[in-house]
Amino acid sequence: MGIVKDFFARKTVGFYISLACAVWSLVCAIVYITGFSPSGVLGSYSSVWVFVCALLAFIGFIAASLFKRTSRLAAPIMAFFIFIALLIFATYGYQYFPEVFYGGFNMAGFMGMNGAFLFCLISFIILLILSNVCVYLKQERSQKADKEEANKEGTMSEVEA
């Protein structure tokens, strides 16, 4: 139990934001693979590589976060795979808009859009922005900050005694 406690004790807010982004990437991958099935309405606009890249973003972040040496690379790995997933999604999905809005841009066309397509489009754009922000956030506390906090706690307990 001490290993898990130490693992989460050395993480910062940046890690938890990145973790939320990784979980959202997993949810987006699941929605994509269910909503864009080859036999479904969006089958001609799908690629299995979008699912693979979104899943690799989640797996890559989790795997890199587990080890102290690679934890600083976790957010860039996630951002890279989300970026690739968005590019592949755009490559296959851009043809969906002309089909929906063939008669002109109107509210009926917008309301008739597939929910999985909208969810994945909005999610991938937000995930790309968030994952790029997470690249610049600290994922772990430095050892210097931990020593200062331990010293501060030590002086506080001496004062209380």
User: Do residues 97 and 112 lie in contact, with contact meaning Cβ atoms separated by under 8 Å?
Assistant: no
pTM: 0.78
Which of the pair, 158 or 139, is modelled with greater confidence? 139
C-alpha to C-alpha distance for 89 and 48, rounded to whole angstroms: 10
pLDDT for 21: 94
Listed by start position, the domains of the chain span 27-140
Q: Give the CA distances from residue 122 to residues 43, 68, 103, 152, in Å, rounded to whole numbers and listed in that order.
A: 19, 33, 24, 45
Residues 21-56 have pLDDT tens digits of 999 999 999 998 888 776 665 666 778 899 999 999
C-alpha to C-alpha distance for 72 and 135, rounded to whole angstroms: 9
Which residue spans within 87-152 are E strands per DSSP?
none
pLDDT for 129: 95
Asked if the model's pLDDT at residue 148 lies above 70, the reply is: no
pLDDT for 113: 73
Residues 87-144 have pLDDT tens digits of 998 888 777 777 766 766 666 666 667 778 889 889 999 999 999 998 998 878 776 6
3-state secondary structure of 155: helix
pLDDT for 150: 57
